[in-house]
Amino acid sequence: MSERRTLGQILTGLGRISEDDVAKALEYQRDHGGYFGEALLACGLVTANELDFGLASQFDLPYAFPEADSVDPEAVALVSPEWALRHLALPILKTETALKVILDSPMNTAAVDDLHARTNLEIEVALASASTIRELIRQVYARGTAADEDEVGSPLRLVDAFDAVLRSAAPRFGVSSRSGRAWVWWEDAGVVRRRPLAGDWGAELERDLKPGPRSGVKGRTRATWQAELTRSGVDAAVEVRYLADDSGLEYLFRPLPGPSEVHERFQAPPPGIVSEIRLLARSGAARFVVTAEPDGLGHEILPHLPHLLLDPSWRGIHVHADEHPSGAEAFSLAMPKDPREWRHELETLRAFHFDVVTVDLEGGRGDWTDAALDVASIAFLLWPRDEDKRAAMEAGVRWQLHVSKESDERLEWSLEPLHG
């Protein structure tokens, strides 16, 4: 049996790095620890995709580029979106004897062992970049209930569908028409919902959209314009895209950002992080510790996370100590000055059934963390960056959301599984 080649030998053989690069990375690894591949990335000698391809070659594993439509729904159903995001792993094909799964690292044995224990199937591994896997997870779980809803959903009037769309703060929605049949669809917390349309939806669209399609698409197969969509007394600015041919037509609507004090003050997280947090909210695992750099940024931004990350219509409460008031934008409650009373105060909030809670309290976190998580199914707990997080993990928190302010005032966001 031939000896496994090192990662350095593989990337050198591919002409991607030189012997001098190997020496530079080894020196960095000696000084900073970690894996050789991490040293290559830190020194800027390879890209993440090149490193992943090299690791796949080193372990004689295929390097995968799966499309969401090719993923086996039966395989995906074996795990929750929370499990997939936490392990950065996704089952993509199930047979009678084997389960194929994509991982971000050949060292991710915990995911392989767990899947084998769940299914008693042989686990076949392929590698993909972390970014590829995260995007695939978002796509496959977004399509999750679409087929079922297509079959069982009762027809909607377009006006009622648009009411639901605006309530859910959907980032995109549309209308599809084929051979006299029409559907409305919208993205809701990571799931694409589809319903057949009833009534004269064309006349309803012309009435509620200004300017309407009649003046912009007549005789055309493609068009793009900005308009105002009016429903229930609310005007929403949207970008409209239109496609048509002899077989049917498509409308795509994207809400345009309106004036928002919160969005003017804080740069919103990347869409991928927003989508993942909404997926976690749907799976019942939306409990986060929030860390920030500098520390003052955490106190400032925490009350506004529901507005930045979730549906603004969800009922939320911000719980804080007197020294960290929330300002006028968020519904909030100041805790008593005596920390011994905090747990009782938090327990009284359960009866209000809030959708989301943000908590900015200090000291003795093990004494009140579990009570805070009982206030709402979605919770964000502000936590010092360097403080032990075992109390949060023992209470059931599994995710860490980190936000930092760069020198140019930009905000950088990350979402990772929580480690104690």
Percent of the chain with pLDDT strictly greater than 70: 85
pLDDT at residue 346 in the model: 92
**Residue 262: DSSP 8-state:** H
Residue 89 near residue 113 (C-beta atoms within 8 A): no
pLDDT in tens, 388-400: 888 898 888 989 9
d(CA 70, CA 126) in angstroms, rounded, equals: 15
Q: Taking residues 56-80, what's their average pLDDT?
A: 76
pLDDT in tens, 140-193: 887 654 444 444 457 888 888 888 777 667 788 899 998 888 988 887 655 677
pLDDT in tens, 261-276: 676 778 888 888 888 8
Residue 14 host element (H or E): none
CATH of domain 146-255: 3.30.450.90
pLDDT at residue 261 in the model: 67
**pLDDT over threshold 50, residue 121:** yes
pLDDT in tens, 354-394: 889 999 998 777 788 999 999 998 999 999 988 888 889 88
Q: 59, 55, 42: which is closest to 8 by C-alpha?
A: 55
pLDDT in tens, 197-216: 988 998 999 998 888 888 77
Q: Taking residues 322-338, what's their average pLDDT?
A: 73
Q: In this predicted model, which residue has the larger pLDDT, 289 or 166?
A: 289
CATH of domain 261-417: 3.40.50.300
Which residues, in sequence order, are bridge partners of residue 90? Answer: 102
- Model confidence, pTM: 0.64
Every domain of the chain and the residues it spans: 7-58, 68-142, 146-255, 261-417
CATH class of 68-142: alpha beta
